[in-house]
Amino acid sequence: MDKAQILVIGRNESIVATVERLINNNPNWKATACLTDEGAIAACREKRFDLVLLGGGIEEVSDTYLRDTINQLHPGIRIIQHYGGGSGLLATEINMALDR
């Protein structure tokens, strides 16, 4: 079984690194982390993701831009907001999104 590819986008480097590490601790998931809109869009041009996680601190203009652009590149991709709350909540959010 291939690992689910998850793109993590956020603005706080340490939080994004923690989320990336937590995701990569699951043997069924592989995270790619980006701190900028440009980096996230470039990653989506290079690779197909199963899920996009938007972290806190992303401005409304960037949120809209990211959602619109990623959906144009990969129609129907699941994009969810991650609000934090620990590894248990993160795993639940990801599992729910991937099971849809």
Query: Cα separation of 65 and 68, whole Å?
Result: 5
Query: Cα separation of 65 and 3, whole Å?
Result: 27
- Per-domain residue ranges of the chain: 4-99
pTM given for the model: 0.93
Q: Mind listing the pLDDT tens digit for each residue in 18-72?
A: 999 999 999 999 999 999 999 999 999 999 999 999 998 899 999 999 999 999 9
Q: Determine if residue 86 is left, alpha or beta; phi over 0 gives left, psi from -120 to 50 gives alpha, anything else beta.
A: left
Query: Cα separation of 75 and 72, whole Å?
Result: 6
Give residue 57's pLDDT. Answer: 87
Q: Which CATH class is domain 4-99?
A: alpha beta
Count CA atoms closer than 13 A to 61's CA, side-chain side.
1
Give residue 1's pLDDT. Answer: 63
Identify the band that residue 17 occupies on the pLDDT scale cut at 50, 70 and 90. very high
Give residue 74's pLDDT. Answer: 95
